């Protein structure tokens, strides 16, 4: 079985395992106590903090350990917003941030704050100008991920941090996906990360608050971790997290080059091996081990099961794999194809042979799913000089499949109206038109759902 979902959680690094087992014997006591066992635990905690701070590029007293990366994000955003409440109640985020950031923004907005979402281009990247334009006199905080968790696109953090600094606004960086590969550049103010993304144990996050940043911890006071992360430290996990971060950093340059070659192999060969595929994300400014593509006429969940059956664990942002039946907010913001979406994120040490085997089995897996979805054509009738396809009640990818089946029945210049109440159609039908050289006219209201109008160009 080949595990290709390191962006969700990387396998536990051998150094993390060794450090975890060793510190179970040495680090079980309360590090705040003055007796021998407590002093020994304190030495381990201080050493872990110094190692993590060195990797991040901050002072040890600026870094605290939290119970998860999500907790680090929530704590960082809430504390920074509260600390700058007198400045204003405006928050800036990108449209493709991790859900932990977006959920914090929702809570802030529900409490009377205002939130600006900065859009991204089709590669998933923000522009520095987009953040500069969003800054206001009452902006309390801006947030930007260092690299996207679904498509791997790296963001211009240093340049955005410079724009924010010039306006006197702190920037919080979610570095969960990138910290294992290297420190985050730029004059950022706060940083959050998660140990299980770089091969540390789950249940450990990092929160860095630079000196001089106004920060007011929320919730009941606690004397541990500078009052920013309440509760008894999980010292063995913290030690393992810091040890593994140091270990992966030592291997990062060599391994990054190797994984970039493997993901470039996937990016270049998948469109040649599988018809009707869109590779998404920036082709150059991206994480070393992540590559994402979407396949027309494919049910994402079925494809993931098919790949699992032949020995590959991958992830997806397709609406077909979601209980909400809506595409991932990242793919929606990018405006790219969502159906049949596959994210491959290779963990360090992935053999080249595994990638070659993946490329061998992928065409058959996609073809098998497409064969299963060769559903009977939806009823098509001509109304007002347009062919109408009734795909109401049918979910991704059926509306696009039915559009593809009937587009040849109208003359060049003719139109097809696809009736659909599936949220994914709003994204996938325009994407299909761009991929197949047809014109997407637009969306029109309908008695149920929406009518998506396509003009045949060829």
The residues annotated as belonging to the active site are: 320
Which residues contact residue 181 at a Cβ distance below 8 angstroms, ignoring those fewer than 6 apart? 252, 256, 287, 288
- End-to-end CA, the chain: 44
Q: Cα separation of 56 and 50, whole Å?
A: 10
Can you give the C-alpha Rg of the chain in angstroms? 24
Q: Cα separation of 140 and 198, whole Å?
A: 30
Element (H, E) at 79: helix 69-83
Tell me which DSSP letter residue 423 carries.
Answer: T
Beta-sheet pairing, 415-420 with 450-455: antiparallel
The closest alpha carbon to 452, from 435, 405, 427, belongs to 427
The closest alpha carbon to 183, from 147, 237, 230, belongs to 147
Which residues contact residue 80 at a Cβ distance below 8 angstroms, ignoring those fewer than 6 apart? 140, 141, 170, 172, 189, 190, 209, 213, 214, 215
Strands (E) located in 163-217: 171-174, 190-194, 205-209
Tokens of 130: 């987009």
Beta-sheet pairing, 290-295 with 341-345: antiparallel
């Amino acid at each position: 079985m080949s595990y290709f979902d390191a962006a969700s959680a990387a396998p536990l690094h051998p150094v993390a395992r060794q450090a975890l087992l060793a510190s179970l014997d040495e680090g079980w006591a309360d590090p705040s106590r003055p007796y021998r066992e407590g002093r020994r635990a304190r030495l381990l905690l201080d050493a872990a903090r110094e190692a993590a701070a060195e990797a991040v590029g901050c002072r040890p007293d600026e870094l605290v350990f939290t119970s998860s990366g999500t907790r680090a994000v929530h704590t960082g955003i809430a504390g920074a917003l509260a600390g700058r409440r007198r400045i204003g109640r405006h928050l800036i985020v990108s449209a493709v941030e991790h859900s932990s950031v977006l959920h914090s923004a929702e809570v802030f907005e529900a409490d009377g704050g205002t939130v600006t979402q900065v859009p991204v281009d089709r590669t998933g990247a923000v522009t520095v100008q987009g953040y500069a334009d969003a800054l206001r006199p009452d902006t309390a905080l801006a947030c930007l991920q260092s690299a996207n968790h679904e498509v791997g696109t790296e963001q211009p953090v240093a340049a955005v941090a410079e724009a924010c600094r010039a306006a006197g606004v702190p920037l919080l960086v979610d570095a969960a996906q990138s910290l294992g590969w290297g420190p985050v550049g730029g004059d950022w103010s706060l940083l959050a990360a998660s140990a299980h993304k770089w091969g540390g144990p789950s249940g450990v996050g990092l929160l860095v608050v630079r000196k001089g940043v106004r920060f007011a911890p929320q919730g009941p006071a606690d004397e541990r971790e500078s009052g920013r992360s309440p509760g008894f430290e999980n010292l063995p996990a913290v030690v393992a997290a810091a040890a593994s971060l140091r270990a992966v950093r030592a291997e990062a340059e060599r391994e990054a080059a190797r994984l970039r070659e493997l993901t470039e192999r996937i990016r270049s060969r998948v469109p040649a091996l599988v018809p009707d595929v869109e590779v998404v994300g920036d082709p150059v400014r991206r994480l070393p081990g992540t590559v994402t593509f979407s396949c027309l006429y494919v049910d994402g969940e079925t494809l993931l099961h098919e790949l699992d059956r032949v020995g590959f664990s991958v992830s997806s942002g397709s609406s077909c794999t979601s209980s909400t039946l809506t595409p991932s907010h990242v793919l929606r913001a990018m405006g790219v194809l969502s159906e049949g979406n596959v994210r491959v994120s290779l963990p360090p040490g992935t053999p080249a042979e595994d990638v070659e085997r993946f490329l061998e089995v992928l065409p058959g897996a996609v073809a098998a799913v497409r064969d299963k979805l060769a559903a009977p054509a939806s009823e098509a009738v001509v109304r007002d000089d347009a062919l109408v396809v009734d795909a109401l009640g049918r979910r991704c990818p059926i509306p696009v499949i039915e559009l593809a089946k009937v587009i040849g029945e109208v003359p060049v210049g003719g139109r097809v109206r696809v009736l659909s109440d599936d949220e994914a159609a709003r994204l996938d039908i325009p994407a299909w038109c761009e991929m197949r050289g047809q014109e997407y006219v637009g969306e029109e209201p309908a008695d149920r759902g929406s009518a998506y109008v396509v003009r045949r160009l060829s």
